[in-house]
């Protein structure tokens, strides 16, 4: 009788372990099965190309030899329209306007995951100039002046991120006049 009870306990324990292993397997397969589409029509390369083509570096940026990062959070609705845009950070305020204009051009191009009504995205932009082969004194002075006169936009308080999607960074290079 003791042997039968012991055998039954071993069998029940083995069945529990086997059942848990099967459940864990189904959960892990379900996690891998999530096919989350890239949130821009055409994918990552299309998004990068779109912004490189759409972002127009202003003469003010070129003249000031401005460089730096701009980080935006924006919301897109189910039709891919941008609803609101927030500047999280900018190395220089002069860099913000061209990015806003490029974001406006991206209306109807965003793909919202899981049929949500609204989704938040965070997208960093890096704007910099191409270095000439031999930098002259005027370029060095302009770069120093830009560094000294930057007007950064910084958060003054905490920023709740909720369920935002961080997108790949977009790097924009522009040429400086020799």
- pLDDT tens, residue by residue, 117-135: 889 999 999 999 888 887 7
pLDDT at 14 over 70: no
Backbone angles phi, psi at 159, to 5 degrees: -125, 105
* Tokens matching residue 177: 């006049």
pLDDT at 108 over 60: yes
Quickly state the pLDDT bin for 1 (edges 50, 70, 90).
low
Quickly state the pLDDT bin for 92 (edges 50, 70, 90).
very high
Q: Yes or no: say if 30 and 77 are a contact pair by the CB < 8 Å rule.
A: no
pTM of the model: 0.73
Q: What are the residue ranges spanned by the domains of the chain?
A: 1-35, 44-175
Quickly state the pLDDT bin for 53 (edges 50, 70, 90).
very high
Q: Yes or no: say if 81 and 111 are a contact pair by the CB < 8 Å rule.
A: no
Quickly state the pLDDT bin for 151 (edges 50, 70, 90).
confident
Residue that the structure tokens 């936009």 belong to: 153
Biggest alpha carbon–alpha carbon distance for the chain: 97
pLDDT at 97 over 90: yes
Quickly state the pLDDT bin for 33 (edges 50, 70, 90).
very low
Over residues 96-103, mean pLDDT: 95
Q: What is the pLDDT of residue 31?
A: 47
Q: Yes or no: say if 102 and 63 are a contact pair by the CB < 8 Å rule.
A: no
Q: 69-73, 128-132, 164-168: which has the highest mean pLDDT?
A: 69-73
Please state which of the ranges 10-14, 50-54, 67-71, 156-160 shows the lowest mean pLDDT: 10-14
Average pLDDT of the residues of the chain: 81
Instruction: Please count the residues of the chain.
Output: 178
β partners of residue 119 = 76
């Amino acid at each position: 009788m003791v042997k039968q009870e012991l055998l039954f306990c071993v069998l029940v324990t083995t069945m529990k372990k086997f059942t848990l292993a099967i459940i864990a397997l189904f959960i892990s397969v379900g996690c891998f099965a999530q096919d989350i589409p890239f949130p821009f029509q055409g994918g990552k390369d299309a998004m990068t190309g779109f912004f490189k083509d759409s972002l127009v570096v202003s003469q003010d940026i070129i003249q000031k030899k401005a460089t730096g990062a701009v980080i935006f959070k924006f919301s897109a609705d189910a039709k891919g329209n941008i609803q609101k845009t927030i500047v999280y950070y900018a190395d220089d305020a002069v860099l913000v306007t061209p990015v806003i204009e490029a974001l406006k051009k991206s209306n109807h191009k965003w793909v919202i995951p899981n049929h949500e009504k609204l989704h938040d995205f965070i997208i960093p932009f890096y704007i910099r100039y191409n270095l000439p082969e031999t930098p002259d004194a005027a370029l060095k002075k302009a770069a120093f002046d830009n560094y000294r006169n930057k007007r950064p936009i910084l958060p003054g308080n905490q920023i709740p991120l909720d369920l935002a999607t961080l997108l790949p960074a977009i790097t924009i290079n522009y040429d400086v006049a020799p």
